[in-house]
C-alpha cells in the first residue's frame, strides 16, 4: 500500500496553513485511518478529504448498510477511490442489516444509488474477507496509531466489539458521526439517521469503553453549511474530485436546501472528517451519553447528560462546535488539491 501524499510545496496555500497548524500541535507523524462507511454523497466527500490530507494514510474502507444497501455502498466506495486514483486502498464488505432491526435507507436524500442518481459505471472489486475481520486485523497490527472513523450506522463496530473487544480497545481513537448533541433529530424529532438505523449497535459502542469522539448532526446543521456559491466554485475549479463532489451532492443539495436550510446544504460526514483531520478546528467536551432504542418518537436519540445528573463518568468527547470558516477552507483545499 502506498504512503500518503508528500507534504511538499505543491499544496494549496490554505492547506499548507492547515498542515502547519497541525504540525504545530504535534501531529507530525503519519496517521492511520480505517473508515467505516455507508457510502453516499457526503461519505464520498469525507473519504476524498482523508485521501487528500498530507500525513494521513487510509488503510482500508469497510462498508455497512445505511444510506443504501451494503452492496451499493461498496460500489460507491470503489467509485470514490477510483476518482481519487486510489483503488489500491482495499474495500471490505460489512453488515447488510442492523443487529436486530429491519434496515432503513436514505435514498430520498441521496438518490437511489446514493450518489445523486448518477449511476456511475462499476469499477474495481471489494477485497477478500469481511469488514469485521479486516478491522480487527488492522487494529491488532496498528493499535494506538489507528483512528477508526465511523460515518454510518455502527453495526460493524458493534460486531467487532462482540467478536474481540480486547483488540478493539487498542484503537487509538474512534470518531463517530452520529446523533445530535442538541437533541434535534433528522428522522424522528430526536433521532439522527445513523443512530436511528441501528440504535442497539450505537448503544453497545458508546458503552464499550472505546476512546470515542462524537460529531453529531447539530454540528453539520450549524457549522458545516455550504451555499450555492461554494458549490459553483468547486465545479469551476476543474478538479475531477471537486466536479465529482458537485455531481454526487446534487440530490443532497436539493433535499437539504428544501427541508432544513434554504439556500444551504449541511455536510455531516465531511464535518466529522474535518474534526478527525484537524481536531483543533473543534471544541470538545467530555460527556456521558447513551442511545435511546425503544422510544417511538425518540429512537436513535443521543441522550447527553450535560449536567451530570446520572452521576456516570463521561464516556465520550462530544463535539460542541466546529470552526465554520476553517471547515470550508479545509474542504475546498482538499477537494481541489492535485
Residue 4 in any domain: the answer is no
CA distance to 7, 25, 205, 242, 269, per residue, from 44 (Å): 23, 28, 24, 11, 9
Residue 1 in any domain: the answer is no
pLDDT digits (tens, 9 = 90+) for 285-323: 999 999 999 988 999 999 999 999 999 999 999 999 999
Residues 142, 260, 261, 306: which is the catalytic one?
261
Split into its structural domains, the chain has a count of 1
- Tell me the C-alpha distance between 255 and 335, whole Å: 22
pLDDT digits (tens, 9 = 90+) for 115-128: 999 999 999 999 99
Q: Where are the beta strands (DSSP E) in the chain?
A: 31-37, 56-63, 91-93, 146-150, 173-177, 212-215, 225-227, 264-266, 282-291, 302-305, 316-322
Residues spanned by the domain of 232: 13-335
pLDDT digits (tens, 9 = 90+) for 170-200: 999 999 999 999 999 999 999 999 999 999 9
Residue 104 in any domain: the answer is yes
Mean per-residue pLDDT over the chain, rounded:
92
pLDDT digits (tens, 9 = 90+) for 29-56: 899 999 999 999 999 999 999 999 999 9
For residues 71-82, give the mean pLDDT: 98
Task: Tell me: pLDDT of 13 over 60.
Answer: no
- Tell me the C-alpha distance between 336 and 77, whole Å: 19
110 is catalytic: no
Determine the pLDDT at residue 264.
96
- 68: domain CATH number is 3.90.245.10
For 276, counting Cβ atoms within 10 Å of its Cβ (0-12 exposed, 13-18 middle, 19+ buried), the class is buried
Q: pTM for the whole thing?
A: 0.92
Confidence of residue 16 (pLDDT cuts 50, 70, 90): very low
Amino acid at each position: 500500500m502506498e504512503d500518503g501524499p508528500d507534504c511538499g510545496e505543491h499544496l494549496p496555500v490554505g492547506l499548507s496553513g492547515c498542515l502547519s497548524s497541525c504540525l504545530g500541535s504535534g501531529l507530525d507523524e503519519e496517521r492511520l485511518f480505517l473508515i467505516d462507511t455507508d457510502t453516499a454523497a457526503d461519505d464520498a466527500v469525507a473519504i476524498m478529504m482523508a485521501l487528500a490530507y498530507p500525513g494521513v494514510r487510509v488503510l482500508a474502507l469497510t462498508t455497512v448498510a445505511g444510506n443504501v444497501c451494503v452492496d451499493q455502498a461498496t460500489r460507491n466506495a470503489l467509485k470514490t477511490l477510483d476518482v481519487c486514483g486510489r483503488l489500491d486502498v482495499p474495500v471490505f464488505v460489512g453488515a447488510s442489516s442492523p443487529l436486530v432491526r429491519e434496515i432503513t435507507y436514505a435514498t430520498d436524500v441521496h438518490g437511489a444509488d446514493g450518489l445523486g442518481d448518477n449511476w456511475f459505471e462499476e469499477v474495481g472489486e471489494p477485497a477478500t474477507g469481511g469488514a469485521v475481520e479486516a478491522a480487527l486485523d488492522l487494529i491488532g497490527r496498528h493499535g494506538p496509531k489507528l483512528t477508526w472513523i465511523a460515518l454510518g450506522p455502527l453495526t460493524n463496530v458493534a460486531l467487532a466489539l462482540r467478536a474481540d473487544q480486547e483488540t478493539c480497545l487498542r484503537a487509538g481513537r474512534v470518531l463517530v458521526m452520529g446523533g445530535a448533541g442538541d437533541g434535534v433529530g433528522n428522522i424522528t424529532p430526536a433521532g439522527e439517521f445513523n443512530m436511528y438505523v441501528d440504535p442497539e449497535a450505537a448503544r453497545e459502542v458508546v458503552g464499550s469503553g472505546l476512546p470515542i469522539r462524537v460529531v453529531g448532526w447539530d454540528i453539520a446543521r450549524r457549522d458545516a453549511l455550504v451555499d450555492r456559491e461554494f458549490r459553483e466554485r468547486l465545479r469551476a475549479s476543474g478538479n475531477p474530485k471537486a466536479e465529482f463532489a458537485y455531481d454526487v451532492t446534487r440530490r443532497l443539495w436539493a433535499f437539504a436546501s428544501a427541508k432544513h436550510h434554504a439556500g444551504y446544504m449541511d455536510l455531516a460526514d465531511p464535518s466529522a472528517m474535518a474534526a478527525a483531520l484537524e481536531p483543533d478546528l473543534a471544541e470538545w467536551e467530555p460527556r456521558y451519553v447513551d442511545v435511546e432504542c425503544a422510544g417511538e418518537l425518540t429512537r436513535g436519540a443521543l441522550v447527553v447528560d450535560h449536567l451530570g445528573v446520572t452521576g456516570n463518568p463521561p464516556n465520550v468527547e462530544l463535539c460542541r462546535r466546529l470552526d465554520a470558516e476553517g471547515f470550508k477552507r479545509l474542504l475546498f483545499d482538499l477537494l481541489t488539491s492535485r
